Each structure stands twice: as C-alpha cells, then as structure tokens.
Structure 1
Amino acid sequence: MKKTTTTDVATSPAPMTAKERDALRDAVKLQMKVARANVDEYAAAQKADMEGQLSKEFTAEDADLAEIMREAEADIGKTKAKIDAMCKARGIRRSFGPQAYVHFDYRGENSVKDRRAELRGLGNANIDARRKEAYRKIETWGAEAQIKLIAGALTSAEAKEFLESMPTVEALLPGLTLAQLDALSTRPGLRLIQGQTDNLTGTGDE
C-alpha cells in the first residue's frame, strides 16, 4: 500500500467550503449590482453625447464655412446691385423691389424641430434596447455563476435533477402558428381559415 506523503496532501485540491460558496455568491451579487450601475451610467453618457451631436452648432467663423459665406455674400452683392439698377431703370422704389440675401442655418438639418425629435426618439429607443440587452446578459451571467456554486455543493442525484428542471425558453414561450393567430381574430371576416378557428380556440363542440 502506497503511503500518503506530505507532498501528496499539499498538492490535492481542497473542496470549496460552504463559507467560501456564500462569500462567492455575495461577490457575484455585488458584481451584478456594479455592472448594472455601469450600464446605466454608460447609457446616460450615450444619450448626452447624442444630444450634443443633435445640438451641435456650426458657426460662420469655421474656416470652410467662412470661405463659403464670403463667396456667397460677394455674389449676393452683385445680384443686389443688378436688382437696384433694374428697379431704377423702371422707376420702381427699391423698397418695393425683390430682396436677395444669404441664409446660414446654424444647426444644419437638425435645426428642424420635428426631425430632431424623431432622431432623439430613435436614439433613445436604441440605447434603451441595448441597455436592456446588457441587463439580460448580466442576469444570465449572475444566474449561471450562482447555479454553478450551488451545483458544486449538491451530492444527491435528486438534488442535481431538480436544479436542471428549469423549462427551456421554447417550452416557456411556444411559437405562434398562422392558424393560431387566425383563431385570435374576433371578426370572422378577417379570418384566413374559415370553419376551423372554433376548434383552435377550444370553443367548438366535440
């Protein structure tokens, strides 16, 4: 018989204690809490950045735009002089004549209120959807981590079987067929499958 040595005892992995499992479960919950807070903070930062982009103002002093403005104003000046000469030749008072001017939109396309509101709504909806998806991933990770900790402490087959008894998502939320959808219609004229919907809804006579 092989004699157990000090080296054998030192290299054998010790089983996780109940105290360690409890500490790890608390750590998992804390990590989940911090992760959710980080997601909320990041989502808020994304919304603030989106608002900043929507509200971004272009100024006439910007190099490229300033050059465009100078050229446009020069052309408008020539046009105004031509209009003045035409009005004078026809005896029309200048105040009654056509006006020519350059208009610079400081917010570009986003100056339109409805357009900005639409973009803001789309952006917020997208960020909120991705935040919910991040929450789902955090919850999934937390659940899997805690289940793994619990499973390591189970010894009986019955206990392990119980832990694995959670129904699948397909069983919890079965797919909807066209026939079942048709059966939900409360107006016979909208039904695609006439004469079969009563059985599908369980209201027909057997």
Structure 2
Amino acid sequence: MKQYGAEFLGTFWLVLGGCGSAVLAASVPAVGIGYLGVSLAFGLSVLTMAYAIGPISGAHLNPAVSIGVWVGGRLPTRQLLPYILAQVLGGLVAGGVLFLIASGKAGFDVSAGFATNGYGEHSPGGYSLWAAFICEVVLTGVFVLIILGATSVRAATEFAPLAIGLALTLIHLISIPVTNTSVNPARSTAVAFYVGDWAMSQLWLFWLAPILGAVAGALVYRLIAGGRD
C-alpha cells in the first residue's frame, strides 16, 4: 500500500505542477511562462518526485511507464493494475484541485482547454489524428527506453531522476504544439474528465498511443541491453 500511495501522491504532483502551470501561468499577460515554462514544469515535477518517492515505488507516475517497466521485467504482474489505478486516481484528484483554483477567476471556461490533449481542431497547432498518434507513440517509446536505461543496475542511478526529468522536458518542447503532450494516460484523463465533451471523445488516443509506445520502447531496450539487466 505504501507503493500505491506513493504513486497516487506522485501523480497528483505531476498533474498539479504540469497542468497547473499550463492552466494558471502559461498565458498570463507580460509574465506568462509559455511553452518553455510548461515544459520545465512537467520535467521538474517528475524530477522532484523521482527523488522523493523513487525509492518507495519507482516513481512511475504514468500508466504507460508502468506497462513499459512491466514489459521490461521490473514490475510484478500483480502490481501493474493497482499502480495504474493509483496513478489515475491521483491525477483525477489533482485535476479537481486545479479546477477549483482555476474557477476562482472570473471568465474561466473549462471547455476552452484546461490543458487537455487533442488532435485535429483541438491540437494546439492543428495537427491531424495520425500526426498526433505517431508523435505520442514515438515519444513515449523513447521516454520509456530512457527510464529503463537510466535506472539500470549498470547506470549511475543517483542521476536517473535528472535524466528522466530532462527527457520529459524535451518531450514537451517537441510535442506541445502537436497534442499538448500526453505520453501519460493518467495526465490526459485527469483534465479530460473535467472538460468532458470532445476531450473525453478523444481520450482513447492518449491511452492507446502511449501504451503502444511504452511496449515498443521496453522491447527495444531489452533488445539493445541484451537481456542482461
């Protein structure tokens, strides 16, 4: 239960820190943090929680990562579903907290975005379904590969949180214009739930693509690692 509680809290922090920066601070006139600031916020949220709860649960904070770690042979099957449930619940609670904060400002309209992921007319840059799918699969795959490599027994694991946090920052710098960056089904669900409507109808992509990417990334890592990890 300590591991699942850690995943709940860690995912709560990821969503509140990352999505919170996008909703509350990205476009503030004159002092808004923009795409770069949001990218750093997601990276920093993972980095800080990886140091805080990594020794307890591994700090997956992401159903796709948990699936990738499972495929990589580092997570028992009996723990996979509880990890995912804890992450989704942590994200949903963070989304609720963010909704309460954001709705305290006059003119707030949750349907305008709320840091949701989307494609087509709901992509920040107007990218198509297939562009969004490819982007999410490839970036999640590389992310999982980096995680497995950085946390390998052959790596300098004390620096793993830094490598993982910077990787997530880079991923956001690449893909915010395409999908608003998911690579994390719990993060996507956490805000889509409160928007409803189109956000929920497009949510399937931000479960399917990251999971496929995670499985591919884990298999590639096992191939290049030679099964020795």
TM-score norm. by structure 1 comes to: 0.21
Quick one: higher RCO (CA 8 Å, sep 6+), 1 or 2? Answer: 2
Work out which of the two has the higher radius of gyration on C-alpha atoms and give 1 or 2.
1
TM-score norm. by structure 2 comes to: 0.19
Higher relative helix content? 2
